[in-house]
Amino acid sequence: MLQFWATWAKDLLVLRRDRAGLLILFLMPAVLVLVISLVQNNVLERSGGSDLRVLFVDADGSPFSRQLGERLGAVEALRLITREDGAVLTPERVRTLVAAGDYPCGVIIPPGAGAALAERVRALAAQIGGVPGPPAVGGSEVVLCFDPTVQGIFRTALKSALGQVLLGLEVEAKARELSRSLGGGFAGGALGGGDQALRMLAGERLLTLQVESTAPGQKPTVPNAVQQNVPAWALFGMFFIVVPLSGALMRERHEGTLLRLRTLPVSYGVILLGKIAAFVCVCLVQFSGMLLVGRYLLPRFGTPALELQGHLGAAFGLAFCAALAATGYGLLVGSAARSYEQGAMFGAISVVVAAAVGGIMVPVYAMPAAMQTLSVVSPLGWGLRGFLEIFVRGGDFAAVAGPAAALLAFFAGSLLLAWLFLARAGSRGR
Amino acid sequence: MEPATTSEPSPLPLVRAERLSFRYPGAARAAVSELSLSIAAGELFGLLGPNGAGKTTTISILATLLRPTTGTVAIAGHDVVRQGRLVRRDIGLVPQEIALYPSLTARENLAYFGRLHGLTGGGLRDRIAECLAFVGLEEHADRRISEYSGGMKRRANLAAGILHRPRLLFLDEPTVGIDAQSRHTILAHLQALAGEGMTMVYTTHYMEEAEQLCSRVAIIDDGRILAEGAPAALVDGAVGCSNLEELFLGLTGKQLRD
């Protein structure tokens, strides 16, 4: 243990002396989260949209609901999904998939929605025409449920598209009723002329939209740019540990220190573990710092404060797994690269690419379909998914078990490869 | 010129290498070929050879850094392959590179390597002070290595190699790239260590240095020993050679090595 702690303390001391490296590690993610949060808070929520995968359940099966599905499916930039793994979707399944973040949103047409609309149209026509008719019935609302991480532009785009389709269907239903009461004509009659027809068409909305943001039983959240950006950029900053860590390993290899370490009566595995522990500690300090930035600094610039509404223990547990993944990757880059410059360049660029693919910069649901598929291979994407479970959906340990396991597997794989590279270099006396 | 062997090693050698060969993966020829060595305790043994002769590879095998392709090496009776951990307790290494952390001070570097050797507390502090005083760096102990001159770095490198009082010290060109004053100081330190009975295996390109310092030398080329013995005896036994450098050039040739 003496050797483990000696290496842990030495690596922390070396890092502390590297002021430029520390600035990159701590200041860069803080500046990024500040800038990106401000930009997204002010601009992104009001700007355009993108392709959305929309789960669609027709539990009604009426001509009305079929038309709604057809017209919604014809809307550009929406992709309607009615089956999942070969099975027809149910309202419960849609809510579960959306709440889990597997899909950004879903539309549910409840049973009886078409019949209720027809009844309400007839009741309205009777009421306006002063003719005794059926009593007004309560219409079933079309349900639109969102993953809480889906932000303003996409919500607005979908709500607008669905609202237009519903309005069109409602107006058509009213016009049909109008036509029927006029006996096939459209210029006066039972409804008593143009004014009443206008009241019928432009009056009370019979079809309404119910918007859900969370699944039943889940803690209500207020998603905003800060809730997403703080954990996202904290992850990015943690993975940037790859640059100083791979650099430290490269320097040990090139400056002869590694040779000296390998002639000591201590396993090199113990020395590597001490190094990993030191860099994991730095990552956790980084993560804590970023939470404090989100909680106390960002509100000073006009953004909402970070709400630590999820399970904080789970957040730090996941941060620990992400820190291990980042240090494992740093060791892999440091052991595989042939020069300091190569390691630093490859390490930095690969982290930026993994961040972009993993949804750190642009939410995964806003990416083209091919990129969404690619996003599943990014460790930063796994980490982000876990953090969003906690910070946006109020998840606990169980909710982040999948991403945590993936990060640990990545760590183990990276460490194994790094060990093989080091053993290979060792067999050549390097 | 015929290979020469002029002195017999001690009957109980600290280092015994038998028919040692090593080929780097993918290399066309062996870096070390059928090399046998015997070094007695207390000897200051010089390994001399042109670039690429196999000096560093030989030291790397003896220091447990490389596994020999064939042959055996025992240090203090322990096999370097099967009993590497035991061997590493007895050896120290002063590599060609300044194998220290530049952003740490000399004291911090020695403290780290000392702890890896299992030294702690007051014993470690005293030993660090002793080593720094030995190499004349006690007044600069708390300066970072990156602020040292080339000669000071070489001395700190030596201090790190002897911190744990190894029985056998490997020095791979410890005086390369430094001024005459620093070189003179380091050679004096090595003579002092030899006087204390430390066994040393030493590589260098400076023949006069080896002639002055080593009790025995081996001239190697293409991974084979061409001549072995006390420097003066080797020169005396070679026809037409007045010093070790002439003997060296006579054995290894004057063509440039890459």
Mean pLDDT of chain A: 81
Q: Contact at 8 Å (CB) between A109 and A58?
A: yes
Nearest to A428 among B24, B91, B120 (CB): B24
**Strand ranges of the sheet holding A52-58, from the earlier edge strand across to the other edge:** A78-81, A52-58, A105-109, A142-146, A209-212
* Interchain contact, A260 vs B88, CB within 8 Å: no
pLDDT the model gives residue A188: 44
* Interchain contact, B97 vs A256, CB within 8 Å: yes
Nearest to B108 among A13, A254, A265 (CB): A13
Is A6 part of the contact surface with chain B (CB cutoff 8 Å)? yes
Write a three-state SS string for chain A: CHHHHHHHHHHHHHHHHCHHHHHHHHHHHHHHHHHHHHHHHHCHHHCCCCCEEEEEEECCCCHHHHHHHHHHHCCCCEEEECEECCEECCHHHHHHHHHCCCCCEEEEECCCHHHHHHHHHHHHHHHHHCCCCCCCCCCCCEEEEECCCCCHHHHHHHHHHHHHHHHHHHHHHHHHHHHHHCCCCCCCCCCCCHHHHHHHHHCCCCCCEEEECCCCCCCCCCCCHHHHHHHHHHHHHHHCCHHHHHHHHHHHHHCCHHHHHHCCCCCHHHHHHHHHHHHHHHHHHHHHHHHHHHHHHHHHHCCCCCCCCCCHHHHHHHHHHHHHHHHHHHHHHHHHCCCHHHHHHHHHHHHHHHHHHCCCCCCHHHCCHHHHHHHHHCHHHHHHHHHHHHHCCCCCCHHHHHHHHHHHHHHHHHHHHHHHHHHHHHHCCC
Residue A326 binned pLDDT confidence (cut-offs 50, 70, 90)? very high
* Interchain contact, A264 vs B113, CB within 8 Å: yes
Q: For the residues of chain B, what is the DSSP string, one character each?
A: ----B--PPPSSEEEEEEEEEE--TT-SS-SEEEEEEEEETT-EEEEE--TTSSHHHHHHHHTTSS--SEEEEEETTEETTTTHHHHHHHEEEE-SS--S-TTSBHHHHHHHHHHHTT--HHHHHHHHHHHHHHTT-GGGTTSBGGGS-HHHHHHHHHHHHHTT--SEEEEESTTTT--HHHHHHHHHHHHHHHHTT-EEEEEES-HHHHHHH-SEEEEEETTEEEEEE-HHHHHHHSTT-SSHHHHHHHHH-SS---
pLDDT at A240 over 80: yes
pLDDT the model gives residue A194: 58
pLDDT at A221 over 70: no
CA of B61, closest CA in chain A: separation in Å? Answer: 9
Cα A364-A365-A367 angle, rounded to 5 deg: 65
Residue A193 binned pLDDT confidence (cut-offs 50, 70, 90)? low
Mutate to test the interface with A, among B65, B75, B168 (most CBs of A within 10 A): B65
- Which of A76, A70, A81, A72 lies closest to A48, judged by CA? A76
pLDDT the model gives residue A402: 94
CA of A263, closest CA in chain B: separation in Å? Answer: 6
pLDDT the model gives residue A110: 87
pLDDT the model gives residue A102: 79
pLDDT at A139 over 80: no
The overall longest dimension of chain B from CA atoms, in Å, is 58
Q: Contact at 8 Å (CB) between B230 and B7?
A: yes
Nearest to A264 among B86, B88, B95 (CB): B88
- Residues in A closer than 8 angstroms to B57, CB to CB, are 429
Mean pLDDT of chain B: 89
Nearest CA in chain B to A7: B112
Choice among A39-53, A59-73, A176-190, B164-178 with the minimum mean pLDDT: A39-53
Is A8 part of the contact surface with chain B (CB cutoff 8 Å)? no
Token pair belonging to B225: 């020993």
User: How far is it, in rounded angstroms, from Cα A181 to Cα A91?
Assistant: 36
pLDDT tens for each residue of B162-188: 999 999 999 998 888 888 888 888 889
Q: Contact at 8 Å (CB) between A355 and A239?
A: yes
Mutate to test the interface with B, among A5, A257, A267, A270 (most CBs of B within 10 A): A257
* Interchain contact, B99 vs A17, CB within 8 Å: no
A vs B: CB pairs below 8 A: 84
Quick count: other Cβ atoms within 10 Å of Cβ B205? 15
Nearest CA in chain B to A10: B112
Please tell me the pTM assigned to this model: 0.74
* Interchain contact, A260 vs B108, CB within 8 Å: no
pLDDT tens for each residue of B67-100: 999 999 999 999 999 999 999 999 999 998 999 9
User: How far is it, in rounded angstroms, from Cα A178 to Cα A189?
Assistant: 10
Nearest to B93 among A3, A17, A259 (CB): A259
> Considering just the CA atoms, what is the radius of gyration of chain A in Å?
29
* Interchain contact, B101 vs A14, CB within 8 Å: yes
pLDDT the model gives residue A220: 45
pLDDT at A25 over 80: no
pLDDT the model gives residue A335: 92
User: How far is it, in rounded angstroms, from Cα A103 to Cα B169?
Assistant: 65
- Which of A8, A53, A288, A26 lies closest to A157, judged by CA? A53
Is A263 part of the contact surface with chain B (CB cutoff 8 Å)? yes
pLDDT at A216 over 50: no
* Interchain contact, A262 vs B64, CB within 8 Å: yes
Within its chain, how far is the Cα of A265 from the centroid? Answer: 48
pLDDT the model gives residue A45: 43
CA of B168, closest CA in chain A: separation in Å? Answer: 12
Q: Contact at 8 Å (CB) between A108 and A114?
A: no
- Which of B242, B216, B224 lies closest to B5, judged by CA? B216
* Interchain contact, A428 vs B25, CB within 8 Å: yes
* Interstrand relation of A83-84 and A142-146 (parallel, antiparallel or unpaired): unpaired
Choice among A196-205, B33-42, B117-126, B213-222 with the minimum mean pLDDT: A196-205
Position with higher pLDDT, A217 vs A58 = A58
